[in-house]
C-alpha cells in the first residue's frame, strides 16, 4: 500500500515537472537556420537588383526591415556582421528602387 502511494506521488510529481514551463536555453538550430535562410535568400538577390520591378524591390526592402529585428537578437559580433551586410543589401534595393521611381514618367495630376 505504501509502495503504491509513493508510486502515485512520484508519477504526479513527474507529470507536474514535465508540464512546467522551461527556461529558454540556446536557440534551437531551426530558429538560427530560419533567419540565416531568409538573410541568404534576400541578399543573394543583390546581383539582380537592376532587373527587379518597383514592386519586387519594395517587397525586398520590406523583407529586410522585417529581418533586422531578428538579427538584433544575435550575439554581439554576429549581430554586427549580419546587420551591416543586411544594411548593404537593403541599401542597394532602396537605391535601385529610388532610381527606378525617379526615371519613371510622372503621372499628370
Partner 1 sequence: MCWNQNRNHNQKKSRSRWLLTACLFCGLFVSGWSAPGGSAAAQVPPSQYGRVLLDKYSAKAGLGPVTFDHWLHRSKFTCRVCHVDIGFAMQANASGIRAAGNQQGYYCGACHNGKRAFDGKVVFPACSNTAPTAECARCHSAGQGSRKYDYETFTAKFPKNAYGVDWEEAEAMGLIKPIDAIEGVSIKKASLKPQEDFSIQPRVTWVSDIIFSHKKHTVWNGCELCHPEIFPATQKGVVRYTMFNISSGEYCGVCHGKVAFPNTACSSCHKNSQNKEALTNVVTMPAPARATGFGSVKFTHTTHVGEHAIKCVTCHHPPKGPGAQSSTEQMCSVCHTHTPTPPVTTNLEAAFHNTGGTAGVCIDCHKSENAKNFSNDIEFARSLLPNDQLMVDAAKAQLVHGKDPQMRQLAQEVITDRQSEAQQVEQWLKDREAATWAPVKCRDCHKKANNVNQ
Binding residues (CB under 8 A) for partner 1: these are 40, 43-44, 46-50, 76-78, 80-82, 84-85, 88-89, 91-92, 94-96, 98-99, 102-103
Beta-carbon neighbour count of residue 57 at 10 Å? 23
Residues 42 and 67 sit within 8 Å (Cβ to Cβ):
yes
Residue 80 CB, nearest approach to partner 1 (Å): 7
Q: What are the E-state strand segments in the chain?
A: none
Residue 82 CB, nearest approach to partner 1 (Å): 8
How far apart (Å, rounded) are the C-alpha atoms in residues 108 and 59? 26
Q: What is the CA radius of gyration of the chain?
A: 25
Q: For residues 12 and 81, which CB has a smaller minimum distance to partner 1 in the complex?
A: 81
Q: For residues 28 and 91, which CB has a smaller minimum distance to partner 1 in the complex?
A: 91
Q: For residues 19 and 26, which CB has a smaller minimum distance to partner 1 in the complex?
A: 26
Amino acid at each position: 500500500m505504501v509502495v503504491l502511494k509513493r508510486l502515485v506521488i512520484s508519477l504526479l510529481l513527474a507529470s507536474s515537472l514535465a508540464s512546467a514551463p522551461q527556461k529558454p536555453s540556446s536557440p534551437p538550430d531551426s530558429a538560427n537556420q530560419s533567419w540565416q535562410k531568409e538573410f541568404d535568400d534576400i541578399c543573394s538577390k543583390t546581383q539582380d537588383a537592376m532587373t527587379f520591378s518597383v514592386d519586387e524591390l519594395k517587397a525586398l526592402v520590406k523583407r529586410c526591415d522585417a529581418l533586422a529585428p531578428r538579427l538584433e537578437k544575435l550575439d554581439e559580433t554576429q549581430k554586427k556582421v549580419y546587420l551591416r551586410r543586411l544594411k548593404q543589401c537593403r541599401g542597394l534595393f532602396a537605391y535601385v528602387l529610388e532610381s527606378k521611381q525617379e526615371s519613371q514618367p510622372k503621372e499628370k495630376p
